[in-house]
Amino acid sequence: MTLPIYDFSGKVAIVTGGGTGIGAAIAETFAKSGAQVVIAARNAERLEARAAAIGHGCAAIAADVSDEAQCQSLVAQTVERFDQLDILVNNAGGGRHASIAKFRTDKWLAEFDLNMHSAFYCARAAAEMMIGQGGGAIVNVSSLAGMHGTMGVSAYSAAKAGVQMFTRVAAAEWGPRGVRVNCVAPGMIATELAEANWAKTGFDGVAASKGFPLRRPGRPQEVAQAVLFLASDAASYITGEVLAVAGGPQLKGMIEV
């Protein structure tokens, strides 16, 4: 049974990067909670297949959210189709592995376009609509790398840190006009893509997570539940916050416990 505060019936949500992994889990969770969901990503064919799998009237709009005009079009198409927009989840993102010394400038800029600028483009377009209708909620998806940094993914870490600061400033600016803006920062999440990469490189995600208090990688659905909370009436007095979804703080002590 859905609790009233988690009942999104009559709400419209956009989830970028909604075709795979965490984004797909977020979209499915909103759809099961009653929302009309629009998923966006670049691969139209894969996106349509995902929308069909999610069901519940999930709609697919192909868009490259690293392009400002396509972000504006995404919001406009959603409003044209459903007459409103209540929730935006800026989930699109990704990073490449390279040392700073070997990071090509064009690749660096492209990662900022995908991970940070896309959130700005979509949020600004969505906020204009939300303010006009009296309010809404935006949830940005950052990363634990944006909180602590990760060697080998410098551009991704820096861009995701930027998303967190953008969240705080946007919350301050738009809060008086009824728009809440929050952020989740996932840690090691066992998406299908992550597990495929771990198998390819020989990385043992389970062993690596033994240093986490919860002793395991996270699941996409666990990130989705955090996003659902921040978008819901249960978080009606929360804005400008960054919620880590990472299995707990990785602390080292002076004694064995």
Closest CA to 142 of 244, 65, 72: 244
Token pair for 182: 């929050």
Helix (H) or strand (E) holding 184: strand 179-186
Question: Using the 8-state DSSP alphabet, how is residue 158 labeled?
Answer: H
Helix (H) or strand (E) holding 223: helix 220-231
In 175-213, where does DSSP find H-type helix? Answer: 192-201, 205-208
One-letter identity of residue 14: I
Choose the catalytic residue: 6, 121, 156, 237: 156
Helix (H) or strand (E) holding 56: none
Question: Using the 8-state DSSP alphabet, how is residue 177 labeled?
Answer: G
Sheet harboring 59-62: ordered strands across? 59-62, 36-41, 12-16, 87-90, 136-141, 179-186, 242-245
Q: CA 217 → CA 174, 209, 250, 252, distances in Å? A: 35, 6, 13, 19
Residue 156 designated active-site: yes
Q: Which residues pair with 38 in a beta bridge?
A: 14, 59
Q: Which residues are catalytic?
A: 156
